[in-house]
Copies of this chain bind each other. A is one copy, B any other.
């Protein structure tokens, strides 16, 4: 099966940031088979099985959302401006999450991710076997992490029950899918004890599974580690052995210079999922990404859950990233738009350990692509396509999305699913949750 996409402005995000203003890209089965200026299209490819006219839109690698909780759609727009929302709102209400509600939320969220051009993501929540199943069914690429936390949760009555869950989950899903990789997701260093965190390391080694964790996100977390260990959470996790594993740390808002040195020394083992929208909506702060990148640390962008940043798209994050990082560093020239698009695509792929497969448009890579139309009113003129993506575009400009060569979004609609059905199903499943929210 050959799909030819033409009449596109190709942004490859390869090592030389090659672009083709009037380009083509050919997908053969699951991979990128050829690409270049339209004039160089070999004659024998004229007869592709499927020809997609990009109408002059921007074709780039699919966005990679490095930190999500896709089971949490039911929480969106609930108690947004409440201090200590996690402990006052989210933890108590999470007791009302059920397997079928997480499934309905995940399907809806995957639809939302795809419609905004996200082709890969890294998730952390409960009932993750069902999340993995939804990803597989809907054809999206994901790292899927079951949460481990030292309190009873909706999918495990005893504290740290996520450990047992993870063992089963990793057994079931390791090496099973081309798209879905099971991982371990300890909630945070301050919400797990040392014993549990050590067991997680062992599981990670045994299954060769990456770990993702919220780290240095909360001021009270930093304070607790200072008091109990005279260390930062990052120093403590490093000592515990986490930096020898494949480790994706979300947030790291309060990373110190010494923390950054430690992360840099761990070379590519330890990567950062930067969630500027969630971090600033909650007034927590702005992670020191400039310093991290100066230390060659790998960084990707993430939205956090749909209740933390209220969106799952990376357009909103790119804009917030630009404005916050420039303003915090008092430097307009810092992070020109191209670097930000790179963080949202290739940087994310590197963060999730997927860069050999995806993250740039190159022959032989898996075809994870997003087509962003330039017909809408906000997308003219385009002197610089990266600027247009970062400063002008929004998720509504995404027209088509491919994952692993399969067209999942076409003309701004999901190809294989009805959004109305996904919503109706979620709405139905939410009845008990809504009642609990009203009583809370």
Interface size on A, residues (CB 8 A): 69
A337 within 8 A of B: yes
A329 within 8 A of B: yes
Which of A242-250, A279-287, A362-370 contacts the other chain?
A279-287
Within 8 A of B (CB), among A377-403: 377-378, 380-385, 387-388, 391-392, 394-397
Binary contact readout A199-226 vs B (1 if CB under 8 angstroms, 0 otherwise) = 0000000000000000000000000000
A116 to B323, CA, bound (A): 21
Residues of chain B with a CB closer than 8 A to A423's CB = 380
Q: Which interface residue of A310, A382, A423 has the most chain B CB atoms within 10 A?
A: A310
A246 to B360, CA, bound (A): 54
Which of A140-148, A160-168, A314-322 contacts the other chain?
A314-322
A396 to B395, CA, bound (A): 9
Known contacts A281-B326, A437-B383, A388 near B77 by CB under 8 Å:
yes
Residues of chain B with a CB closer than 8 A to A309's CB = 391
Q: Taking CB as reference atom, which chain B residue is nearest A327?
A: B280
A78 within 8 A of B: yes
Residues of chain B with a CB closer than 8 A to A437's CB = 383
A426 within 8 A of B: yes
Q: Is the pair B395, A115 in contact by a Cβ cutoff of 8 Å?
A: no
A415: shortest Cβ distance to chain B, in Å? 14
Within 8 A of B (CB), among A66-93: 73-74, 76-83, 85
Residue in contact with A80 in the complex, picked from B74, B324, B327, B387, CB distance below 8 Å: B387
Residues of chain B with a CB closer than 8 A to A80's CB = 336-337, 384, 387, 391
A53 to B282, CA, bound (A): 36
A290 within 8 A of B: no
Known contacts A383-B77, A392-B76, A392-B77, A280 near B311 by CB under 8 Å:
no
Enumerate 7 A-B pairs (CB-CB under 8 Å) in ascending A order: A74-B381, A81-B337, A81-B387, A283-B326, A286-B327, A309-B391, A383-B437
Give residues in A with beta carbon < 8 Å to B: 73-74, 76-83, 85, 108, 111-112, 115-116, 277, 279-286, 309-311, 313, 316, 319-320, 322-324, 326-327, 329-337, 376-378, 380-385, 387-388, 391-392, 394-397, 419, 423, 426-427, 430, 437
Given contacts A74-B381, A280-B324, 11 further A-B contacts (CB under 8 A): A73-B381, A78-B384, A81-B335, A108-B377, A281-B391, A283-B329, A283-B334, A286-B327, A309-B391, A324-B327, A396-B396
